[in-house]
Amino acid sequence: MTSTAIVPRTGYLYVVMAATLWAVSGSSGKFLFQSGVTPFELVQLRVTLASACLFIWLLASGGKRIRIAPSDIPYFIILGVCGMAMVQFTYFYTISKIHVAIAILLEYMAPTFIALYSVLFARERLTQLMIAAIAGSTVGCYLAVGAYNLNLLSMNLEGILSGIASAVAFAWYAIQGERGMRRYHPWTVLFHALLYAAIFWNIAFPPLEAFTRSYTAVQWGWILYISILGTAVPFGLYLEGINLIRSTRASVTATLEPIMAGLIAYVFLGEKLEPLQALGGGLVLVSVTLLQTGKERDDNTPALIRTRQKRLDS
């Protein structure tokens, strides 16, 4: 098998892994909210623990990927506060107000926002294949989460607006994260985004106040899962994926998250999948497959990927 096929497929695999880990994170957050943890507390816990764990891991790996140029600090502050911090809060705030499924659906309007940005500001041309994949994944998400059984207009308005905001923040984070990876390794970008998000939430919310509360062993277990396997690891994998297949393709592929969540609920919780939900899952899978099998050309050629990676590792 040639590197032409291997490199993009690796990027898709990273994003699929991230979507699988995120799928568990949403329901875990809902459980914590129902047990008394607030969205503000969970976000502070999440970004603080995630940034601390990632710092320890990068330091143990030699510390090379911690360093950034002082001139890039403003970029990382903006990425961390306007991107990572807002993605974390708006997503969990939405979950606390409305159904998890609809929260995920609203967040996955992100591919549409990324596509609009690419056309209007980055002057990129969307192929018919890409447009079809975005449309297919959006409709597929709608069906997969069972949104046709829910009256969106009767739901909490704050939750809906927060969900749309989470899509904008997620799209902006992906776009700006891709920009940062022109100079830095994906894990370097993620660490500094998490670091400044943690600093922000320890200023906006009394410093480390969430850590002073008493939590049960089960609550701590889900808090640690959300912080490490629901944040540090999947966001790192997502950036690795963006680095290989670009933000538009990565965001479409990430719409597998509600499909993964549905499968988890089906296997472990015994929930039933309605025919329309199964159809929606199929549409998302077809959309992602279209992206992988398409023959379109862009600046994501293996030669340029190798050049970029050589620069990042130097």
191-202 tens-digit pLDDT: 999 999 999 999
Q: Please tell me the total count of domains within the chain.
A: 1
Region 64-86: what's the mean pLDDT?
A: 95
Q: What is the mean pLDDT of the chain?
A: 84
Q: Residue 268's pLDDT is what?
A: 63
Q: Residue 174's pLDDT is what?
A: 93
Q: Residue 297's pLDDT is what?
A: 45
Tell me the residue range of the domain where 113 lies.
3-313
Inter-residue contact 177 to 73 (CB < 8 Å): no
Q: Residue 119's pLDDT is what?
A: 82
DSSP for 25-56 reads HHHHHHHHHHTT--HHHHHHHHHHHHHHHHHH
Return the amino acid letter for 98. Answer: I
3-state secondary structure 122-174: CCCCCCHHHHHHHHHHHHHHHHHCCHHHCCHHHCCHHHHHHHHHHHHHHHHHH
Q: Is the pLDDT of residue 18 over 70?
A: yes
Cα 63 from Cα 57, distance rounded (Å): 9
Percent of the chain with pLDDT over 90: 45
* Region of poorest pLDDT, from 20-24, 101-105, 198-202, 228-232: 101-105
Q: Which region holds residue 185: left if phi is over 0, alpha if psi is between -120 and 50, else beta?
A: beta
CA angle centred on 223, ends 222 and 224, rounded to 5°:
90
Q: Is the pLDDT of residue 306 over 50?
A: no
